[in-house]
């Protein structure tokens, strides 16, 4: 069967379905081809389920500290299967919401494997999509769109010397299906995924060791943040091994033997591999086109056009920040461009990055370890222990850093490690987007007592004018 349509979106993850809805709202006839479930990695294997688990871990930590708040309670316990059930209910509720939105906007969904075709009897140019349905007797479908958006996402990256079985040696995908927690676990990789899992596992009583090849955790954040995170992790009992390479992993008698550099051997009940994600660019027919791609993803211009201008690519399958909110924005901008609207390219430097550990971490713009050497930067810093709301909540560890260009007075970066950092960063992001100065950020009257006052104080500190420091 052959169908014609205005737009095909290959991949129904966050970027894909947002692009599809935006196009449908502009009157386009839209089809999504998704081989699994709408919502993609973020909804089913990433952002949402892991944050649901982290929230349960946070509540458990709070209950364990009840005596600090004058609350008497019996010894806190948890049921991990109920924790998983809660996570699954949240995912299913949001999944149902995404399906309802697509139905509301009259978007057709085909659950099958899509492959891009080159010029053929169906179309004189590349971009038709052949859809097969491996688990059914349904015949192959050929969809011929006027425009195509590739949004195939990414998959967990692995190590050549570590074989994944998703039972004892797992990726983040396998971790989400655990029915019981191990006693002793290694997390290979100290990036965002690795430290989030280490944090929640530790909260639930797992003995956790992080093994990181680089010189510090969260290599894309500042040295000060990495140092503070490691300090707090180690205070919680998480072992952190940096500048350590994993040479091999072997399953023996129901445990995992890790061979590290210098021939050190360590034994764990389970091992998680969290060394990043790789773009899904294989097996989708790119070789049938003139689209340029490599192991880093599909090559696109500022408007997400590939080398075939009627074919766009967004999200984790291109070489930009692998974040759900980035993919969603890229999807919107790609649709606006293919509809002929004037589009301002996305400034990736001003996009917030969040890590949902305990403590939370968030940053936007430059941080104290990566601003240009030729820039005259003033760094303001304020610790949460000087903030009334933080003390009230019993969450006084961490700090806020604000960076100001002393020559232009522009606000050029904010970094937060501490309570509610992932919410507080929105004020900083809006300020940078609106080209505010550090003085303007500090001039805003912040309600008292709130944790947002830490931003005001750190901004004032770039002038040496912080009140409570």
Residue whose token pair is 């009627």? 310
Residue whose token pair is 């386009």? 28
pTM: 0.95
Per-domain residue ranges of the chain: 2-155+279-348, 158-275, 359-461
Q: Which fold has domain 359-461?
A: Enolase-like; domain 1 (3.30.390)
Q: For position 287, what pLDDT does the model report?
A: 97
Q: For position 41, what pLDDT does the model report?
A: 95
d(CA 265, CA 272): 16
Count the Cβ atoms, other than its own, within 10 Å of residue 264: 11
- Which pairs count as long-range contacts for 93-99, CB under 8 Å and 24+ apart, including other chains? 94/39, 94/43, 94/48, 95/37, 95/38, 95/39, 95/43, 95/44, 98/17, 98/38, 98/39, 98/43, 99/38
Architecture of the domain defined by 2-155+279-348? 3-Layer(bba) Sandwich (3.50)
Q: What stretches in the chain show pLDDT beneath 70?
A: none
Same fold, 2-155+279-348 and 359-461: no
Could you tell me the two tokens for 115? 């492959």
The residue from 177, 347, 349, 448 that is catalytic is: 448
SS3 state of residue 14: helix
Architecture of the domain defined by 158-275? 3-Layer(bba) Sandwich (3.50)
Whether 448 is a known active-site residue: answer yes
Report the b/e string of 303-336 with b at 16+ CB within 10 A.
bbbbebeebbbbbbbbebebbbbbbbbbbbbbbb
Cα of first residue to Cα of last residue in the chain, in angstroms, is 70
d(CA 97, CA 39): 10
Q: For position 99, what pLDDT does the model report?
A: 97
Q: For position 149, what pLDDT does the model report?
A: 98
Q: Is 298 exposed, middle or buried (0-12, 13-18, 19+ CB in 10 A)?
A: buried
The full length of the chain comes to: 469
d(CA 20, CA 291): 22
SS3 state of residue 302: coil
Could you tell me the two tokens for 137? 């007797």
Q: To which H or E segment does residue 468 belong?
A: none
């Amino acid at each position: 069967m052959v169908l014609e349509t205005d737009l095909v979106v290959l991949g129904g993850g966050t970027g894909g379905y947002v692009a599809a809805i935006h196009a449908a709202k502009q009157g386009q006839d839209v089809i999504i081809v998704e081989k699994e479930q709408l919502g993609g990695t973020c909804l089913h294997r990433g952002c949402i389920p892991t944050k649901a688990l982290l929230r349960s871990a946070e509540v458990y930590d709070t209950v364990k500290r009840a005596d600090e708040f004058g609350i008497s309670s019996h010894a806190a316990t948890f049921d991990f299967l109920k924790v998983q059930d809660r996570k699954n209910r949240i995912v299913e509720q949001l999944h149902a919401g995404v399906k309802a939105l697509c139905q509301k906007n009259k978007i057709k969904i085909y659950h099958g494997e899509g492959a891009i075709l080159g010029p053929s009897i169906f179309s004189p140019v590349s971009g038709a999509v052949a859809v097969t349905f491996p688990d059914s007797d349904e015949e192959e479908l050929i969809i011929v769109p006027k425009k195509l958006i590739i949004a195939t996402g990414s998959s967990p990256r692995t190590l050549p010397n570590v074989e994944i079985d998703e039972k004892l040696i797992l990726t983040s995908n396998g971790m989400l299906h655990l029915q019981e927690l191990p006693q002793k676990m290694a997390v290979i990789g100290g990036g965002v995924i690795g430290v989030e899992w280490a944090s929640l596992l530790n909260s639930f009583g797992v003995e956790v060791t992080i093994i990181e090849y680089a010189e510090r955790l969260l290599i894309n954040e500042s040295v000060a943040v990495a140092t503070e995170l490691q300090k707090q992790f180690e205070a919680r009992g998480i072992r952190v091994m940096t500048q350590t390479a994993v040479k091999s992993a072997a399953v023996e008698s129901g445990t995992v033997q890790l061979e590290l550099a210098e021939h050190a051997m360590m034994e764990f009940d389970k091992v998680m591999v969290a060394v990043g994600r790789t773009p899904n660019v294989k097996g989708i027919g790119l070789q049938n086109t003139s689209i340029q791609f490599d192991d880093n993803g599909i090559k696109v211009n500022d408007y997400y056009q590939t080398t075939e201008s009627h074919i766009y690519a967004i999200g984790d399958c291109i070489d930009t920040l692998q974040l759900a909110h980035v993919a969603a924005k890229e999807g919107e901008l790609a649709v606006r461009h293919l509809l002929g609207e004037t589009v301002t390219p996305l400034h990736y430097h001003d996009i917030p990055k969040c890590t949902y550990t305990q403590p939370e971490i968030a940053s936007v713009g430059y941080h104290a370890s990566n601003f240009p050497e030729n820039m005259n930067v003033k760094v303001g810093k304020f610790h949460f222990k000087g903030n009334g709301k933080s003390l009230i909540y019993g969450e006084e560890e961490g700090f806020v850093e604000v960076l100001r260009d002393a020559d232009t007075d522009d606000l050029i970066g904010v970094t937060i490690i501490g309570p509610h950092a992932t919410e507080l960063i929105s004020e900083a992001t809006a300020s940078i987007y609106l080209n505010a100065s550090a003085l303007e950020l500090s001039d805003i009257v912040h309600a008292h007592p709130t944790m947002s006052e830490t931003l005001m104080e750190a901004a004032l500190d770039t002038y040496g004018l912080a009140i409570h420091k």
